[in-house]
Structure 1
């Protein structure tokens, strides 16, 4: 008999696994609607949607294993990372989805200031560390051409079998967005793999923007992680990403 495995559980979202089926329950129905449409539009391997009865989405497990886990060394080969880069390029060159990004540059900038102030006043991180990363993050705010982005392309969302990408999961944040954000999300905490990803992705890459997104994503995520029972100070995770910028 298959057991019920709790994959993710917090006040906004719960994901359960029963055998080869994942059940996603989301408090925001728009997230699941976006995921369904993005999976349909994306020109890369995606999971099969089994059924969608709000507020639940059932999807089939994809074969293979995730590229890795944040905070742990990745066992995936350089060729697998390059294949992930090639798949991301294919996504970024696809026709744009019909919906825009959830956040404007002004909104992101406002969130950045708010979260940096909280990190400093709460004493969670030293002020000089926060200020340095806020400076690095400013390179995000530059002209860029919108691309079809996954929007939450963390390492656990890309599955490979050997050197082949078998599936990219969790598309609820997909939108028109900055291509460098996807590349930064995938390599967050695994900066040593960036060259391998770019070997598959190709040229036309803004390295300064990728580094800026490492800082910005880590600054924006830290309070949420802490308040939802996660630890960004785990070795190799968000706080280490911020310390690396010093």
Structure 2
């Protein structure tokens, strides 16, 4: 019998690995519906769907390894990071998905609420919060929507050598800001930003990517803490905020 490995588990959902099969358990079926549809629409490699029996979605494991992990140095080559950037460009050039993403007003409101919570609970120094909030506001500008993954963490991109073999976890896919995807991919891995941008091509506003680093980190801290993760771990969200000072 294959070993059962808990990949991630929190109040929203859980993912288990049994051999070469991933079992995603999510009580919110609309989120799984979105993931299945997004994978069908995406023009880049995604996991094969083996079967679905709500609340479980079974996916085949992708070949290769994750491009990296937040808080850890990446062993992947510059060419692999560039290939990830090229895959993101291919996604962003695809037709838009039929559902919308979050609006500027929603994101701005969330930023207000999370910064107020961080200050009220003395989670971080007020000057650190204020500095990153000023940086984050650069991301809050109109954008031309593209097909975004929505949660393009470095651990969600798999590579074999210098080639991308697939991208996982599509439940947050929507119409959104292209630079948000690039920011999430390079969060905590600033040293690989140039490689990703080189693969992505075109004119990329690096200040907006850096603004999304601050914005995403400010928004994530409470959720991470409440779901059993540690945003203060070396190289993670709080270190990202500190690096902006």
Same fold, judged at TM 0.5 (above) = yes
**Residue 54 (structure 1) shift:** 1.5
* CA shift digits 1:103-150 (9 cap, x unpaired): 211111111011001111111100000011010000111121000000
Match of 1:33 in 2: 33
| Paired positions, count | 245
TM-score by length of 2: 0.99
Q: Secondary structure at the match of 2:94?
A: coil
- Counterpart-to-counterpart distance in 1, 2:50 and 2:138: 41
Q: CA RMSD in A?
A: 0.7
- Counterpart-to-counterpart distance in 2, 1:237 and 1:72: 9
- Counterpart-to-counterpart distance in 1, 2:123 and 2:147: 35
* CA shift digits 1:175-203 (9 cap, x unpaired): 10000000000000001100000110001
**Residue 27 (structure 1) shift:** 2.2
* CA shift digits 1:66-99 (9 cap, x unpaired): 0111000000000000000000000000000111
Match of 1:132 in 2: 131
Q: Which moved more, 1:44-53 or 1:72-81?
A: 44-53
TM-score by length of 1: 0.98
- Counterpart-to-counterpart distance in 2, 1:75 and 1:109: 35
| 1:148 correspondence with 2:150 | no
The 5 Å alignment of 1:47-58 reads 47-58=47-58
- Counterpart-to-counterpart distance in 2, 1:27 and 1:126: 37
Q: Which moved more, 1:70-79 or 1:1-10?
A: 1-10
- Counterpart-to-counterpart distance in 2, 1:90 and 1:54: 31
The 5 Å alignment of 1:69-84 reads 69-84=69-84
Match of 1:59 in 2: 59
* Contact 2:104–2:141 (Cα < 8 Å) also in 1: no
* CA shift digits 1:144-180 (9 cap, x unpaired): 1000000000010000000000010000000100000
* CA shift digits 1:8-61 (9 cap, x unpaired): 111110111110111111121111001101111100011101112221111000
- Counterpart-to-counterpart distance in 1, 2:141 and 2:120: 28
Q: Secondary structure at the match of 1:8?
A: strand
Match of 1:160 in 2: 159
**Residue 204 (structure 1) shift:** 2.4
Give unpaired runs (5+ residues) of structure 2: none
- Counterpart-to-counterpart distance in 1, 2:27 and 2:214: 28
| 1:2 correspondence with 2:2 | yes
The 5 Å alignment of 1:12-31 reads 12-31=12-31
